[in-house]
Structure 1
């Protein structure tokens, strides 16, 4: 009998074996949201190095204010760069609190202001509500840069999973509206293409945390229609955009056992072809959300280190880097 090869990274094999294969449906969504209520602490995290504050900022026209959770290093003097962070959750679940640890780390390690947006969720609030909430938060960062003590020319956007999809869509929306210009987009295993739901060639055996059934439910909820159709609204599905030129430089990371692996790499190649620099990190044997589920694993720490370094390069460019890039 021939030995079988484990498809997962050695650091992730135990977690992959223990993770249940759950497809998100309306009943499952209700349970997940109920349990998520206990994640929102009555008090902000206590961190001697970082001040955490919840603020309400003006929402889109005719919509309620948007809650933004800010993380500010206490020791930093003078204006700093900033990151608008967008949490994941398949467009249907999630809140800024789930990424407290990550946002605290980024603020502390990079010495930047991190602002995590609490956007409205589908299916109750389908497109464009979540994206418009993110845009409202981004506009607030730019308009209040002086008061917040941040550098408007050094504001990046980033997110994971559906948050990565919203990040990519936000970069496109900001480009088209020509009102605010983020300097960089951080795409952590982003949810970019509803057409993946129609693929019949995908073997989901090695997928964890987010499978094809959940993907269909998430996209259907967000779009308010069956995903994978001939047409979708502009800015609803980042991968559907034909012209990607003029967008901010990007970093994209994904694992080989992630449902989004193929769509992510296609998008990265299209960015490069359009003249948009895009650094790509592919983690062999990593499943969706591995850096959160197995936070202490070496492969997870290395992955976070890679995108933290990318943020540092984008927000703290070396002297003459811009001129060298233009010359190259």
Structure 2
């Protein structure tokens, strides 16, 4: 099937270039910041800037709060960017669309980035914010069952890892999570068990070389590769996890590992839905809502949320 030309052109603007991300990540971050400043801030929602303190540092949080929606239902959103790029500023438009199209408050987390802050720093930030929202019901007055974790790409990895960490630490437990083309595996070599690594690894904007570079920048050591909080698919225990919706993209190198994670969760006794977005590339969720893949994604999300 031919890839939609409009989507390819739009995603090309988001640009997964073949420059060496290990050398260019700072420049790419600056370009993202400049682009984010030029985008007009959403007008339909009150935007509340908040901070969560964790181990001596503040984690910025941006909350998109629609009026007249009490009691609040919440998304805690972890952005993509390979754990190296992305910010609450660069995802403003995505979060505003998410709030508008789901009717939920969106809490966007500005977790620390690698390589300055390698694994597990960013994950601990995501956990700290999630923990505060679950345990402090005076913050937004929301019951735990109405709090959903959601993330795209590296953010999907973080959402899955927070759910595993929450079960293991026993302080709270999310009831639902939505993982959009998540990174779940520790092997993106030519010997990977997943065909999408080879089939989609060179010609579809996000290359497997860049995935490998992102993971090299994110990890603290080789030992991290066997840590389920780094690569959830290596977990030997996936029991007691949230109801999960996984959406993958047909032409994404991470497609098969995302779907494999869904199968592994289901085998462990969890409720899981997995949907492959046909004719789609990695990164499509950041496109405007007029794109059919984005519309379909929100339909899948809303259908998932309506189920008991």
Q: Please say whether Structure 1 and Structure 2 have the same fold, judged by a TM-score greater than 0.5.
A: yes
* Equivalent residue number for residue 225 of structure 1: 221
The 1-side partners of 2:139 and 2:303 are apart by: 27
* Equivalent residue number for residue 90 of structure 2: 98
1:182 and 2:174 aligned:
yes
Say if 2:186 and 2:225, in contact at 8 Å, map to a contact too.
Answer: no
1:299 and 2:297 aligned:
no
**Cα gap change, 1:208 to 1:43, in 2 (>3 Å):** closer
* Equivalent residue number for residue 324 of structure 1: none
Point out the more displaced range, 93-102 or 179-188: 93-102
**Cα gap change, 1:221 to 1:17, in 2 (>3 Å):** closer
* Equivalent residue number for residue 288 of structure 1: 282
Q: Which of 3, 9, 26 is residue 8 of structure 1 equivalent to?
A: 3
The 2-side partners of 1:253 and 1:23 are apart by: 28
Say if 1:45 and 1:52, in contact at 8 Å, map to a contact too.
Answer: no
SS at structure 2 position matched to 1:80: coil
> Structure 1, residues 182-214: CA drift from partner, whole Å, max 9, x if none?
110110000111212453661346642321111
* Equivalent residue number for residue 121 of structure 1: 113
* Equivalent residue number for residue 146 of structure 1: 138
1:57 and 2:49 aligned:
no
**Cα gap change, 1:17 to 1:246, in 2 (>3 Å):** closer
How is 1:151-166 mapped onto 2 (pairs within 5 angstroms)? 151-166=143-158
Q: Give the number of equivalent residue pairs.
A: 303
**Cα gap change, 1:9 to 1:44, in 2 (>3 Å):** closer
> Structure 1, residues 153-202: CA drift from partner, whole Å, max 9, x if none?
32110100000000010110011111011110110000111212453661
1:69 and 2:62 aligned:
yes
In structure 2, list runs of 5 or more residues that go unmatched: none
How is 1:230-309 mapped onto 2 (pairs within 5 angstroms)? 232-293=226-287, 295-309=289-303
The 2-side partners of 1:112 and 1:221 are apart by: 33
**Cα gap change, 1:137 to 1:42, in 2 (>3 Å):** farther
- Displaced runs of 4+ in structure 1, greater than 6 A? 16-20
Say if 1:165 and 1:190, in contact at 8 Å, map to a contact too.
Answer: yes
**Cα gap change, 1:299 to 1:110, in 2 (>3 Å):** closer
Say if 2:159 and 2:179, in contact at 8 Å, map to a contact too.
Answer: yes
Displacement, 1:119?
Answer: 0.2
The 2-side partners of 1:206 and 1:16 are apart by: 15
Say if 2:131 and 2:172, in contact at 8 Å, map to a contact too.
Answer: yes
Say if 1:85 and 1:116, in contact at 8 Å, map to a contact too.
Answer: yes
**Cα gap change, 1:265 to 1:99, in 2 (>3 Å):** same
SS at structure 2 position matched to 1:214: helix
Displacement, 1:298?
Answer: 1.8
In structure 1, list runs of 5 or more residues that go unmatched: 1-5, 322-328
**Cα gap change, 1:36 to 1:12, in 2 (>3 Å):** closer
**Cα gap change, 1:253 to 1:20, in 2 (>3 Å):** closer
**Cα gap change, 1:44 to 1:118, in 2 (>3 Å):** farther
* Equivalent residue number for residue 80 of structure 2: 88
SS at structure 2 position matched to 1:174: helix
Displacement, 1:17?
Answer: 8.2
